[in-house]
Structure 1
Amino acid sequence: MFKRFIQLQWKSFFRSSSFGKGLALKIVMIFFGLYLLSALVGLGVVLYFVLRKIFPDQNPMWMLSQFMIYWILVELFFRYFMQKLPVMDVKPLLSMPIKKSAITHYILGKSAISVYNLMAFFLFVPYGLVLLSRGYPILNVGLWLVSIMALVLCINYLNFIVNKSDKALMIIGGILLTLYGLDYFQLLPVREFFGPLFHGLYQYPVTVLIPLTLAAITYYVNYRYLRNRIFLDASLKTKSKEAKTSDLAWTKRFGDMAPFLQLDLKMIWRNKRTKAQVVISLLFVFYGLIFYSQEEFANMMPMLAFLGIFMTGIFLTNFGQFIPAWDSSYYSMMMSQNIPLRKYLESKASLISVSVVVMFLLTIPYVYFGWDALAINFGSALYNLGVNIPVILFFGSFNKKRIDLDKSPLGNMQGTSATQFLIILPVLGLPILIFTGVYFLISLEAAVITLSLLGIVGFALKSKLLDAITEHYRKKKYGMIAGFKEKEG
């Protein structure tokens, strides 16, 4: 029966109406996936030697075990956004003499060989082979790899349990940040507490039964949940759900922009893909720690300029590059109404401006690494506000690909076109190039002042720039409407 299910899925893939249109993108994603897997293999091979070099007096297996708790939490956190339960069209099968248990086992079994699980496989198996080459016991290493893959399956099936709950996401994220903070500021020896637990999976081979049992339990919980919900008439029953609304009265102070701001805020709050952009932006505040804390990057001012533009403008880039595709499901309706297009674009600019200011405020603690970091971030924020916001809005007029907000968030390439790749050059590359040129020709102060002045000039020309961008949107209106009407699949 499983073989028959696989054949049906294979035919569905190749006979899909979107197969031809998305073939080039699928090929690119395949090459990207192969590159990622090869990089993981390389990391798995060198991981032993890296740990040996960083911690010369410690066993690499012991040091790796101390970080395993973070790996589990981080993977579970990001799977919340990236991974969906693999589904198949079960309605036609339910009217046939096919056991619902077989359908349920196939759906869950298919998820066990997902690319997210393969990532762990391609990372830890090469690491295990290196351990064997260095004389580690075959039994211990072999059963440790079995334990790791069992933990991966636990994460896989646990994600399907918590994936429907935003509270679960906040709890996982809170635990992750709390443990890292306690460990980083040496308030609690988190790694020393969890390290022996994970190292025991290698030191005592019999403990492999623990992760295997946990994997079986999470599988069974998912099986019971899906098995009890596969009914032919389940789709016929109208779902009743209590609507939780907010009038967002505080937005009324923005006048004509208020309705658009309300739509954007509700869209961000109610959809995973837009909500993911907010979460990712907040997480990237910690991106600077990777570079500011390294001495080799301390005096690389162009790198600090990259951090300034990137961190203060991360939401600008992630959210702004898909304007107005976020509204593609009702964009044609909006354009058929007597709605001021300029106010629509102005509301988008205001929302992004707030994000830039918030992101700059969150990067202020980096002054701990020197006043240069604060000054560069301030100049970068001004540049993002005055220059990059009009640039991102202008490039938005070339977006013609629809985004369905009901679909999965990260790993979703809907709405992506050549525009999203070209926009990196003026938004990220140009300010870094300007900063670097002025820095080497004159000084750091002159480079920061140059970015700041460009941002201020952009503010002064804001009205004229928005008028020009609005006119450009009017010219592209019918092309965007036609593009947004095309659905994949």
Structure 2
Amino acid sequence: MFKLFTRLQWKSFFRSATFGKSLGLKILMGFFGVYMLVSLAGAGGGMYFILKKIFPEQSPMWTISQYFIYWVLIELFLRYFMQKLPVMDIKPFLTTPVKKSAIAHYILGRSAVSMYNLLSLFFFVPFAIVLLFNDYPALNVLLWVVAIFAIVLCINYINLLINKNDKALVVIGSSMVLGYALNYFGVFDMKAFFAPMFHALYAYPMAVLVPIGLAAFMYYINYKYLYTKIYLDATLKAKSIKANTSDLEWTKKFGEMGPFLQLDLKMIWRNKRTKSQVFISLLFVFYGLIFYTQDIYANMMPMNVFLGVFMTGIFLSNFGQFIPAWDSSYYSMMMSQNIPLRKYLDSKATLISVSVVVMFLLTIPYVYFGWKILAINFACALYNLGVNIPVILFFGSFNKKRIELDQSPFGNMQGTSATQFLIMVPVLIAPIVLFSIFYYLISFEVALMVLSVLGMIGFAMKNYFLTKITEQYRRKKYGMIAGFKEKAG
């Protein structure tokens, strides 16, 4: 039966109407996948020697066991966004003498051999081979690899259960951040706590039964869940969608901008791609920990300006660069109505301005690393509010590529054009260059004042800039409508 299902899926793949149209992209992604696998294998083979050099007093096996808990959490977090759930058209089989159990087992078995599971093996298997060449016990190493694969399967089947649950994503992301913070400030050492558990998979061969048992248990839970969903009535039942009907009454305080703010907030919350922009922005608040904790960057003020512009303006960049393509599916309808375009742009500017303020408030704890960091982030937030918001709205008038909000947020290039690359010059590079000129020629204080004053001037001239930008959108109106109507083949 497995052979039959595989053959049918293979024919479905090659006979798809979109196969020929995207063949070039599939070949390109194939080359990229091979490159990634080779890189992982090289990294795995060299990891033993890297760890031996960095931690000469520790066994590489013990060192890598310390970081296993972070690997598990990161795997779960990334798979939530990137891994596609196994899909199979089961309707034709439900009227034939094909067992539902066979269908469920096939779907779960196919997910077990997905590329995401093989990625980990391409790293750990070369690492294990190097261990064998360095006289590590063969039985221990081989069973350790089996245990790793069992953990990978656990992660795979857990993801199948939680993939549609946003609360699970928050829990996983919070655990990563909280664990790193507690470990950094010396409150709780996650590495020391979990290292013995993961090292036991190598030190005690019989411990391999634990992850194997967990993998079997997660498989059983998924099987029971799938089995209850495989029945013909499910395909005949009318599809109903329960929507979150929050009325957002408070947006009416913004007058004519209120309806547009409601549309934006509902769009962000109801669609995975826009919602991911919010989660990514919140996650990048911790980006500063990578640099502020390193002595080498302590006196590199231009780098700190980059961090300030990036962290306070991450939502501005990620969300703003695709305005108005987010509304591409109904943009032509909006433009055919008696809708004030200026208020539409005002609502976008207000939403992004709130995000800049919120992101700045979230970066205030970085004052722990010095008052200069707080001053830089404040100046960068002002610059984002006064200069970068008008700039990014102006560049939005050149967006003509459609975005499908129901598509996967990762690896999705919809809406991307040369505009998205050009926009990084004025938004990210310009403030760093300006700061560097005044910093090296005059002083740190003067450089910060230049960024702050430019931001305040831009904010004071907001109405003038938005009026000019509105005129630009009117001139580009019909070209944008025509572009948004074109769907990718």
TM-score (norm 1): 0.92
- Encode CA deviations 1:289-326: one digit per residue, 9 max, x unaligned: 11111111212222212211111111111111222222
Shift of 1:8: 4.6
Q: Is residue 2:458 matched to residue 1:449?
A: no
How does 1:386-465 map onto structure 2 within 5 Å?
Answer: 386-465=386-465
The letter of the residue matching 2:165 is S
Who is 1:380 aligned against? 380
Who is 2:324 aligned against? 324
Shift of 1:476: 2.5
SS in 2 for 1:357: helix
Distance between the aligned counterparts of 1:79 and 1:204, measured in 2?
Answer: 30
- Encode CA deviations 1:155-185: one digit per residue, 9 max, x unaligned: 0110111112222222323333333333333
Who is 1:67 aligned against? 67
Give the gaps of 5 or more residues in structure 1.
Answer: none
Whether contact under 8 Å (1:84, 1:160) holds in the other structure is no
Who is 1:91 aligned against? 91
Who is 1:294 aligned against? 294
SS in 2 for 1:407: coil
Shift of 1:11: 4.9
Shift of 1:50: 3.4
SS in 2 for 1:228: helix
Further displaced range: 242-251 or 136-145: 242-251
Who is 1:476 aligned against? 476
TM-score (norm 2): 0.92
How does 1:17-166 map onto structure 2 within 5 Å?
Answer: 17-19=17-19, 22=22, 26=26, 29-96=29-96, 98-166=98-166
Further displaced range: 14-23 or 87-96: 14-23
Shift of 1:351: 0.7
1:9–1:386 Cα change, 3 Å:
farther
- Encode CA deviations 1:442-479: one digit per residue, 9 max, x unaligned: 33333322222322232233222222222222233233
Distance between the aligned counterparts of 2:191 and 2:442, measured in 1?
Answer: 47
1:426–1:32 Cα change, 3 Å:
farther
Further displaced range: 117-126 or 253-262: 117-126
* Number of residue-to-residue matches in the alignment: 489
Distance between the aligned counterparts of 2:218 and 2:447, measured in 1?
Answer: 55
SS in 2 for 1:199: helix
Further displaced range: 254-263 or 241-250: 241-250
1:174–1:218 Cα change, 3 Å:
same
Distance between the aligned counterparts of 2:12 and 2:440, measured in 1?
Answer: 57
The letter of the residue matching 1:82 is M
1:204–1:350 Cα change, 3 Å:
same
Whether contact under 8 Å (1:436, 1:447) holds in the other structure is yes
Shift of 1:21: 5.4
Who is 1:172 aligned against? 172
Shift of 1:327: 1.7
1:34–1:390 Cα change, 3 Å:
farther
CA RMSD, 1 decimal: 2.5
Who is 2:246 aligned against? 246
Distance between the aligned counterparts of 1:11 and 1:398, measured in 2?
Answer: 41
Whether contact under 8 Å (1:260, 1:344) holds in the other structure is yes
Who is 2:214 aligned against? 214
Distance between the aligned counterparts of 2:96 and 2:479, measured in 1?
Answer: 45
Q: Is residue 2:326 matched to residue 1:313?
A: no
1:2–1:264 Cα change, 3 Å:
same
Distance between the aligned counterparts of 1:232 and 1:481, measured in 2?
Answer: 42
The letter of the residue matching 1:168 is A
1:299–1:115 Cα change, 3 Å:
farther
The letter of the residue matching 1:356 is V
Distance between the aligned counterparts of 1:145 and 1:415, measured in 2?
Answer: 42
How does 1:263-282 map onto structure 2 within 5 Å?
Answer: 263-282=263-282
- Encode CA deviations 1:125-173: one digit per residue, 9 max, x unaligned: 2222232232222221221111111111110110111112222222323
The letter of the residue matching 2:386 is G
Shift of 1:406: 2.4
Distance between the aligned counterparts of 1:26 and 1:417, measured in 2?
Answer: 20
Whether contact under 8 Å (1:18, 1:488) holds in the other structure is no
SS in 1 for 2:229: coil
1:302–1:130 Cα change, 3 Å:
farther
1:30–1:302 Cα change, 3 Å:
farther
1:36–1:421 Cα change, 3 Å:
farther
Distance between the aligned counterparts of 1:218 and 1:118, measured in 2?
Answer: 19
The letter of the residue matching 1:363 is T
1:15–1:308 Cα change, 3 Å:
farther
SS in 2 for 1:87: coil
